[in-house]
Amino acid sequence: MKAIENRLKKLRDIIEQHNYNYYILDAPTISDGEYDAIFRDLYALETKHPELIIPTSPTQRVGAEPLIEFGTIEHRVPMLSLSNAMDTEELIVFDERMKKELCIKENILYIAEPKLDGLGIELIYEQGIFIKGSTRGNGFTGEDITRNLKTIRSLPLKLIGGNAPTLLEVRAEVFIKKHDFFKLNKSRESEKIPVFANPRNAAAGSMRQLDTRITIKRPLSFFCYGAGKIEGINFETHHEYLLALKRMGLPVNPLIKTVNGAKGIKAYYHELEKIRNELPYEIDGTVFKVNDYQLQNKLGTRSRSPRWAIAGKFKPQQATTIIHDIVVQVGRTGALTPVARLAPVNVAGVTITNATLHNQDEIDRKDIRIGDTILIERAGDVIPRIVQVILEKRPKESTPYRINTHCPICNQKSFKPNDEVVARCLNISCPAQVKGRIQHFVSKPAMNIDGLGERIIDQLVETGLLKTVDDIFTLEQQALSELDGLGKKSAEKLIQSINKSKRTVFSRFVYALGIRNVGEHIAQVLEKHYNGRLKEFKNAKPEELKNIDEIGPIVAQSVVQFWQNNNNRKIVNNCIERGVFLKEMTKHINQPFSGQIFVFTGSLKNLTRQEIKERVEHLGGKTAVSVSKKTSYLVVGPGAGSKLKKAEDLAVSIISEDEFLDIAH
């Protein structure tokens, strides 16, 4: 057995070394075929001896069963945003301000780096082992995406070098390279799956997949750029820190360099701007940070950004082209959005054929017409926008463009409230809205139908088995089992999930219907008033609705308009006829949480956040996302961070999840 353990260790070390050569040094020493052969040897040996598999083995990056939802992780050190400079003049002002605040005249050394257009993340290593990782989130709390991060080949599960700190929190940016993005979209086109709008969306969407078997197929990369909390080692400069990361096996952008004063900042900014389109990944500017950590500490931070760093944004890249046509697209909520079809033009290395026109007001303001020659710009991941019309080139026969008063898909009359700029199709059976509305209908806060994901919904709609949400309750096991990716067992589970969803509460069903301006909270307000009396709700007049606490004229108008549409009424009636039963809300007699506010932090093992919210509200209380003097209880799970300290400072009652469950029965 010792010989097998030694062989496993040797294979793992060889693979990790080749990963380091390939991803960090960019100097592979073996072919992909040779690498794959070593990997297969390791996998085969571990399969024979599963008791010898360790969490940091390269084989443990494989996709796993989908999660129900992400947990959250609090950042020990907030992941702050950066203030922006829009040109080199503002960057020089930044340098002058740094010298003034530090009371020095000599040049300051800065770390200069490309500003990648990706998703900000934090990686946490303890004793050199990757423990968990999260998104930036709101800067204080992020989503726990540990499993998805493990699928990235260039991310070391164990740091190399044998001198890892006790705790190392690393800030990084996940992105997809341009050529990988192109291949990914080509593949999606061939499979008739909607393509991604840009590399940033693709990277962010991949990291937020609940099913890691999807993430592992995405060509994700990342570069490290910053630090969170570090214990067990000290660094004097940011440059020293970045070099240490590279030695430990973490990828650092090779274009990062030290620059000297304002002159160095200007030179780096212009140099990077010249080569931005030649880089293998998207960037939208540069970042400059004071290199010396002592100086950083002296400069401090503002509420949302550090004083010692700034992003130098590049100017939007522009081009001229011609509008061949204007078409109106219909979104999930029925929003009618005009889109200009353009003569293909290359902007910032990307071929542009479409530009959003937003709404009729925007079209009127810029007097945009079919046949116009226009100036467009694209900055980073921003959808191309029309800067202006070149009137000198306008065709003489052109006429102003007006969005049709009827939906271009279902031909039903659209509606535009006087106080809104967007016109909408109110027919929820409109084919353009079907897929999105079904996804919303089956989501966890709504009807909570597990197993009816985006891919399955696409197939069901395209095969004609689903035309509207009420069709869900007519699906048969045999037809489901014939879908790609669904066998007999999965189809049986899906039918069970559909049947289970039929017995629900008023608020979930109303939220699932996707009524404009009726979110989860408003649906619960309506539930308290109507308590399952759907017929009364369907026939409610605007005055009656406006008399309900928290229901204003906008919500009242949206509800009335929804029920005025005969298709909507028919769909709801079909749902009820096909078995949907709305349980009456049983009000807890004692309302023990009345007037109390609960905040939750850390990982919770028994309940999801949605279930907790429902439990608290059922007992008369409220939930909040941050701790304040008004907080009654902070419920703490593993991984609690800044909220716990704030609660202690404010003398807020702190209880465990088990203690919460004891009082929330």
Q: What is the mean pLDDT of the chain?
A: 87
Q: What amino acid occupies position 532?
A: G
> Average of pLDDT values for 524-536?
86
pLDDT of residue 58: 82
Helix, strand, coil distribution of the chain in percent, nearest 5: 40, 20, 40
> Does residue 516 or residue 401 have the better pLDDT?
401
Task: Judge whether residue 34 has pLDDT over 80.
Answer: no
Distances (CA, A) of 127 to 160, 161, 163, 602, 617: 11, 12, 9, 21, 42
Residues 10, 48, 115, 416: which is the catalytic one? 115
In DSSP terms, 224 is beta-bridged to: 172, 252
The pLDDT value recorded for residue 387 is 87
| Paired tokens of 339 | 């889109």
Rounded Cα gap, residues 405 and 414, in angstroms: 6
Q: Is the pTM higher than 0.75?
A: no
pLDDT at residue 339 tops 90: yes
pLDDT at 229: 94
Q: Residue 602 — pLDDT band, cuts 50, 70, 90?
A: confident
Per-residue pLDDT at 192: 72
* Chain mean position to CA 395: 43
Question: How high is the pLDDT of residue 665?
Answer: 66
pLDDT of residue 642 exceeding 80, the answer is no
| Cα-based distances in Å from 539 to 470, 536, 556 | 20, 5, 12
Using DSSP's 3-state secondary structure scheme, residue 216 falls into coil
Token pair belonging to 221: 């990369």
pLDDT for the residue 100: 95
Task: Find the mean pLDDT for residues 194-200.
Answer: 77
* Structural domains of the chain ordered from first start: 2-61 (1.10.287.610), 84-313 (3.30.470.30), 317-393 (2.40.50.140), 431-583 (1.10.150.20), 597-663 (3.40.50.10190)
Averaged pLDDT, 551-576: 92
Which residues is 496 bridged to in the sheet? Answer: none
Q: Looking at residues 438-460, what average pLDDT do you find?
A: 88
The secondary structure of 426-466 as a DSSP string is: --TT-HHHHHHHHHHHHSTTTT--TT--HHHHHHHHHTTS-
Residue 65 has pLDDT above 50, yes or no: no
Res 381: pLDDT = 44
In 3D, which of 307, 392, 378 has the Cα closest to residue 348? Answer: 378
Max mean pLDDT among 17-21, 162-166, 631-635, 661-665 falls in: 631-635
For residue 511, report the phi and psi dihedrals to the nearest 5 degrees: -60, -40
Q: Structure tokens of 178?
A: 């341009």
Per-residue pLDDT, averaged over 222-243, amounts to: 96
Taking the C-alpha atoms of residue 16 and residue 9, their distance in angstroms, rounded to an integer, is: 11
Distance CA 420, CA 354 (A): 24
Alpha carbon distance 288, 114 (integer Å): 9
What span, in angstroms and rounded, lies between the C-alpha atoms of 359 and 194? Answer: 23
Q: What percentage of the chain has pLDDT greater than the value 70? A: 95
pLDDT, tens only, 13-32: 888 888 777 666 657 777 76
pLDDT digits (tens, 9 = 90+) for 143-185: 899 999 999 989 999 998 778 899 999 999 999 998 898 888 8
Q: What pLDDT score does 257 carry?
A: 96
Mean pLDDT of 304-315: 90
Residue range 618-637: average pLDDT?
84
SS3 (DSSP) at 345: strand
**Range of lowest pLDDT (240-254, 287-301, 614-628):** 614-628
Angle between helices 553-564 and 566-577 (to 10 degrees): 80
Q: Report the amino acid identity of residue 491.
A: A
Rounded Cα gap, residues 19 and 206, in angstroms: 22
Q: Where are the alpha helices (DSSP H) in 463-620?
A: 477-481, 488-501, 506-512, 520-530, 534-538, 542-546, 553-564, 566-577, 609-618
Quote the pLDDT of residue 644.
85
Among 59-68, 92-101, 429-438, 458-467, the range with the most confident prediction by mean pLDDT is 92-101
Looking at residue 155, its pLDDT comes to 94
Tell me how far apart the alpha carbons of residues 194 and 200 are, in angstroms, rounded to a whole number.
15
pLDDT in tens, 352-383: 888 989 889 999 999 999 999 999 987 544 56
Strands annotated E in 22-177: 72-74, 84-85, 109-116, 119-126, 129-135, 141-143, 167-175
pLDDT at 406: 93
* Cα–Cα distance for residue pair 57/47, rounded to 1 Å: 12
Task: With beta carbons less than 8 A apart as the criterion, state whether 466 and 457 touch.
Answer: yes
Tokens of 218: 């995405």
For the cut 90, the answer to whether the pLDDT of residue 93 exceeds it is: yes
Output the 3-class SS for 311-332.
Answer: EEECCCEEEEEEEEEEEEEECC
Is pLDDT at 139 greater than 90 in this prediction? no
CB 79 within 8 A of CB 139: yes
**Residue 309's closest CA among 200, 240, 227?**
227
* Integer CA distances (angstroms), 429 to 379, 446, 456, in order: 37, 18, 19
Decide if 178 is catalytic. Answer: no
